[in-house]
Chain A
Amino acid sequence: MGDATSTDTTTVIGPVRLSVPPEPSMSRVARLASSGMASLVGCTVDEIEDLKIAVSEVLIALIEHGDGGRVDLEFEFVGRGASADGALDDRPAFVVRGSSPVEHLDLSHPDLLLCRTVLDGVCAAHAIELVDGAACIVASVACSATD
């Protein structure tokens, strides 16, 4: 049992943290790690597919639009209840958080817009912002597994 993000949120598994070099091949590593966790908690095949896409899009945003620093990832399955970061509604979800150093983030870049469009399609909620010199992304994929 890891850290809960708020008193209303039950963390069922995680958080699991990865720190990866900003290399495209790391996308596959992160997908495997996250899908393994999701299968442990009973997410469906379709939910796992959505999670893999979400993880991949988070990495695309941070690697292709970052400054070349390491990418920190955190995976967590949370039970029902509102998340402190505002990314969840009242359903259980698999939460992906990613961050990487960046001085400037062009949210209107066409590639990043495409990335966010995909996140819109597979996530219950997602957000990207620049915080203290780092691009920070939170993406939550709804999961029917019960906590």
Chain B
Amino acid sequence: MTGPMNDDSLTIDLDDGGAIVVHGDIDMAGGPVLEAAILQHESDADRGQLVIDLEDVSFIDSSGLRSLLGASRRARGRGGDVVLRSVGPEVARLLEITGTTSQFVIASHRG
């Protein structure tokens, strides 16, 4: 990833540890932006484990969740996991509603 990826409501960058840091809403507009960033990161890094920081995410819907689930499926195919960091109550609730919490490693919660 050469620089931040942007949508009107979503910004993505990498921290020093290689985690994908998401800022904004992971909705119908932001979900594809996140998915593109994840795919680019996967091809760049070829990592089994993918860390996504959600500290600055306060909204997610099913289209955003699909991006995360796709990343999880691919990571598991490589023998790894998607690690979600700083998971807020909004994201935790959607994972619970959809029964998909177990598809991820939850490293930490916030709020």
Question: Which of A's residues lie within 8 Å of B, judged by CB?
Answer: 24-25, 27-28, 31, 49, 52-53, 56-57, 59-60, 63-64, 111, 114-115, 117-118, 120-122
Tell me how far the C-beta of B65 lies from the nearest C-beta in chain A, rounded to whole angstroms. Answer: 7
Tell me how far the C-beta of A37 lies from the nearest C-beta in chain B, rounded to whole angstroms. Answer: 17
Chain A, residue nearest B7 (CB): A25
Q: Verify if B29 is at the interface (C-beta below 8 Å from A).
A: yes
- A117→B97 contact, CB < 8 A: yes
Contact partners of B90 in chain A: CB under 8 A = 49
Give bound CA distance, A24 to B98, whole Å: 22
Contacts known (A53-B61, A57-B62, A115-B62); A24 close to B27, Cβ less than 8 A? yes
Tell me how far the C-beta of B98 lies from the nearest C-beta in chain A, rounded to whole angstroms. Answer: 5
Of the A-B pairs whose beta carbons lie under 8 Å apart in the complex, a sample of 24, sorted by A's number, is A24-B28, A24-B32, A28-B9, A28-B29, A49-B90, A53-B61, A56-B27, A56-B59, A57-B61, A57-B62, A60-B28, A64-B28, A64-B63, A111-B62, A114-B62, A114-B65, A114-B66, A114-B98, A115-B62, A118-B61, A118-B97, A120-B97, A121-B94, A121-B96
Give bound CA distance, A71 to B53, whole Å: 33
Size of the chain B interface, CB-CB below 8 angstroms:
20
Instruction: Tell me the interface secondary structure of chain B in the complex.
Output: helix
- A53→B94 contact, CB < 8 A: yes
Q: Verify if B8 is at the interface (C-beta below 8 Å from A).
A: yes
Q: Verify if B81 is at the interface (C-beta below 8 Å from A).
A: no
Tell me how far the C-beta of A109 lies from the nearest C-beta in chain B, rounded to whole angstroms. Answer: 12
Give bound CA distance, A28 to B97, whole Å: 21
User: What are the nearest 6 A-B pairs in CB distance?
Assistant: A121-B97, A24-B28, A24-B29, A56-B61, A114-B62, A27-B28
Contact partners of B97 in chain A: CB under 8 A = 117-118, 120-122
Contact partners of B93 in chain A: CB under 8 A = 49, 121
Tell me how far the C-beta of B64 lies from the nearest C-beta in chain A, rounded to whole angstroms. Answer: 9
Contacts known (A111-B62, A114-B66, A118-B62); A56 close to B28, Cβ less than 8 A? yes
Give bound CA distance, A27 to B8, whole Å: 12
Chain B, residue nearest A61 (CB): B62
Chain B, residue nearest A111 (CB): B66
